Chain A
Amino acid sequence: MYRYDEFDEAFVRDRVAQFRTQVERRLSGALTDDEFKPLRLKNGVYLQLHAYMLRIAVPYGTLSSRQLRQLALIGEKYDRGYGHFTTRQNLQFNWPKLRDVPEILDLLADVEMHCIQTSGNCIRNVTADQFAGVAADEVEDPRPVAELIRQWSSLHPEFDYLPRKFKIAVTGAQHDRAAILAHDIGLRVVMNAAGEIGYELMVGGGLGRTPMIGKVVREFVPKDQLLTYLEALMRVYNLEGRRDNKYKARVKILVHEIGIEEFRARVEAEFAMLDGPSIPADTEELARITAYFAPPAYEKLPAIIPAFEAAKRANPAFAAWVESNTFPHRAPGYTALTISLKPIGKAPGDATSEQMRVVADLAERYSHAEIRVTHHQNLVLPHVKQADIFALWQALGEAGLAEANVGLITDIISCPGLDYCALATARSIPIAQSLQKRFADLSRQRDIGPLNVKISGCINACGHHHVGHIGILGLEKRGEESYQITLGGDATENAAIGEILGPGIVAEEVPAAIERLVGVYLAHRKDGETFIEAVRRLGLAPFKAAFLQEAADAA
């Protein structure tokens, strides 16, 4: 994992001191409320429905045990004993007091963490594949370049007052687990024909009111030119992005309005002007960072561990959990383990301070003290020996963390919705809970197989409903909550925006409607065909018919 040196440390300490003076200047009247607002947002402080919310950056979703314990402490001391992991791999506290925020920032700085640019019209926290450095289908670990971008984008003098927020996601793998096509910039580590490693850049993806899939802006950016290329791209966006309407201010709208060819031409023209002797070579810095991400010292283990196989045979519940919650590790005898934060009936992504401590301890004992946060709002222990999995499963079970539903229909992504959020038009968490209850039977979930349900409580789409296999969007119609159902969305390398099935339905009707859609799949699926594969083959029509029939029956 990356570790701060004296310069990184000084930087976050200075940032905390700066925020203290900003709060003081707001109180003294030197700053107006309008002026203070972006400053607090860029430190992760939102004003929500009932209280302030603090969003803590978890850069590229990587945490140490020490850091997770500190988050547990903060949750206990300054919140209500729990935190919420988000779709951008961050952690949110929903009940801190504004006056406590500088102290919380101090505690975060103590463990090399911060809230810098977790909100506001700036380059946000960089997200990454949760299996970075672990997955077998990887050209290269994307975390070093994510850290390089984190540093470069932190308090960038030129790009801190952009037209709108700007999100970057990176992956080094063939299979996209970081939803890079749904980001302002998606970056994929690739190898060119000459065998050199560089980056493919996608631009203009995003969800929100106007969902768009990212388009390739450049197929290959050499490693030592990445920051220069990003500078050129960000300059074009900063100068040309619309500022007349906040709903048209994201880079996706600029790309859409002028076309990807014109956008590319403008970026290339800017990039060509920057090309020259003044351009920094960042290769030494990247090499320095990369050294921190050297894989841990794995033991030489056989690929098959007899005791582990025996435990699975003896215990079907354990075997089921292993099947859904483990991911193949590139080192023989090891596994990457996903801990579901979606137990039936709980708020998706929530973890109590006690649970955070349990995970921190288990990571220390079994996973080189490392934890990942996924954009599906779960946690990962990336380096677990197969021989340890059974003991781990038992320990997780005691903490209520052994739900065997990763990737299944109850592993729902949900935004906080109207229970917390000032922007929400409808509730999200209760919808997730009602669906989880409807599909609680694990054998049924396993029969249905991989299915991503994603719920947003308003059109801003924080719950990624557009790219859910089944998406649920909560709106308000004539004072009533109304839920629009979409089908066929996909957040991976096959990225697609889901299509609306029909008129909105009320909350109580959602579980039955989803059940009908699942029913169509079960009736029509071919051997081994997943839900989304069946939707692609069958098209919308049979699902739409079933949905409309359900709506008619309910009326």
Chain B
Amino acid sequence: MLLDRDGLKADLYRRTVGHNESHVLVPLADIEATLAARAGNRGIGVEVANTTKVADLAPHLDSLALIAIAFPSFSDGRGFSIAKSLRNAGFRGTLRAVGPLIADQFAYALACGFDEVELPAESAARQPIEIWLAAARAFRATYQRNHNPAGASILDRRWAAKLGAAKLGAAE
């Protein structure tokens, strides 16, 4: 099952070592060959373990359409930091979390820069899409400025509320 913040989505990517198809997802070892074989480099994704160093991906960030990061178990949170680091390094393509995450981690994954989650069938069978969408909305706002869109964190909202109140006071 593949989902993003809007719901279920079709998976266009195929895990393959073939270089000629569109939307391929290849292992890190094959990335240079895949990129070299493809003009325009469109629709190429790489799938990496959560022990991969961001520095090893850095040369390819502009060429990759998707980076899939493995979560070997839901309790191993390394993928969250890798995603955040990739966003900090300027990666603008799609970030996918692959593995048995739980719905309560969906908001975290989105906040760290993931766009989508690919679940194994067993987890998906227990946790239908409605649970994921509800879990993503569980909190009206959270505190972290660096992990929220600009203006969305509680700290920013507080500040906005204060400025708004001051404006209102000035108008009266």
- A joins B in a complex: yes
Name A residues whose Cβ lies closer than 8 Å to a Cβ of B: 5, 7-8, 10-11, 14-15, 17-18, 21-22, 25, 29-32, 35, 38-39, 121, 151-152, 154-162, 227-228, 231, 235, 238-239, 243, 273-274, 278, 280, 282, 284-285, 288
Other 18 A-B pairs with CB < 8 A, given A7-B157, A235-B85: A7-B154, A8-B154, A10-B141, A11-B143, A14-B140, A30-B127, A154-B143, A157-B109, A157-B111, A157-B112, A158-B84, A159-B77, A162-B77, A231-B146, A235-B84, A282-B155, A284-B159, A285-B155
User: Which 8 pairs between the two chains have the least Cβ-Cβ distance?
Assistant: A161-B77, A157-B111, A157-B108, A280-B145, A7-B154, A151-B143, A238-B81, A18-B138
Q: A11-B142, A21-B134, A31-B102 are in contact. Are A243 and B76 (CB under 8 A)?
A: yes
**Contact assessment for B81 and A235 in the assembled complex, using a CB-CB cutoff below 8 Å:** yes
**Contact assessment for A238 and B144 in the assembled complex, using a CB-CB cutoff below 8 Å:** no
**Contact assessment for B81 and A239 in the assembled complex, using a CB-CB cutoff below 8 Å:** yes
Q: Which residue of A is nearest B109, CB measured?
A: A157
Q: Which B residues are in CB contact (< 8 Å) with A25? A: 103, 127, 131
**Contact assessment for B74 and A160 in the assembled complex, using a CB-CB cutoff below 8 Å:** no
Q: Which B residues are in CB contact (< 8 Å) with A238? A: 77-78, 80-81
**Contact assessment for B139 and A11 in the assembled complex, using a CB-CB cutoff below 8 Å:** yes
Q: Which A residues are in CB contact (< 8 Å) with B155? A: 151, 280, 282, 285
**Contact assessment for A10 and B84 in the assembled complex, using a CB-CB cutoff below 8 Å:** no
Does B61 reach chain A (CB closer than 8 Å)?
A: no
Q: A31-B102, A231-B146 are in contact. Are A161 and B131 (CB under 8 A)?
A: no
Q: Which A residues are in CB contact (< 8 Å) with B88? A: 273-274
Name A156's contact: one of B105, B147, B159 (CB within 8 Å): B147
Q: Which B residues are in CB contact (< 8 Å) with A228? A: 146
User: In terms of DSSP, what is the predominant structure of the interface of chain A?
Assistant: helix
**Contact assessment for A35 and B74 in the assembled complex, using a CB-CB cutoff below 8 Å:** yes
Interface centre among A152, A284, A288 (most CB of B within 10 A): A152
**Contact assessment for A160 and B159 in the assembled complex, using a CB-CB cutoff below 8 Å:** no
Q: List 26 A-B contacts (CB under 8 A).
A: A5-B158, A8-B154, A14-B138, A14-B140, A15-B139, A21-B134, A25-B127, A25-B131, A31-B126, A39-B102, A39-B104, A151-B154, A154-B142, A157-B109, A157-B111, A157-B112, A157-B142, A158-B77, A159-B77, A161-B74, A228-B146, A235-B81, A243-B78, A273-B88, A280-B146, A285-B158
For B, the interface residue count at a CB cutoff of 8 angstroms equals: 41
Chain B residues 89-143 with CB under 8 Å of chain A are: 89, 102-105, 107-109, 111-112, 126-127, 131, 134-135, 138-143
Name B143's contact: one of A5, A39, A152, A158 (CB within 8 Å): A152
Q: Which residue of A is nearest B122, CB measured?
A: A32
Interface centre among B75, B76, B78, B143 (most CB of A within 10 A): B143
Q: Which residue of A is nearest B53, CB measured?
A: A239
Does B2 reach chain A (CB closer than 8 Å)?
A: no
Q: Which residue of A is nearest B114, CB measured?
A: A157
In the bound assembly, the distance between CA atoms of A274 and B103 in angstroms comes to 29
Does B82 reach chain A (CB closer than 8 Å)?
A: yes
Interface centre among B74, B89, B158 (most CB of A within 10 A): B158
Q: Which B residues are in CB contact (< 8 Å) with A160? A: 77, 108
In the bound assembly, the distance between CA atoms of A11 and B141 in angstroms comes to 7
A412 to chain B, nearest CB (A): 36
0/1 string, B39-78, CB within 8 A of A gives 1: 0000000000000000000000000000000000011111
In the bound assembly, the distance between CA atoms of A75 and B76 in angstroms comes to 36
Q: Which A residues are in CB contact (< 8 Å) with B104? A: 18, 22, 39
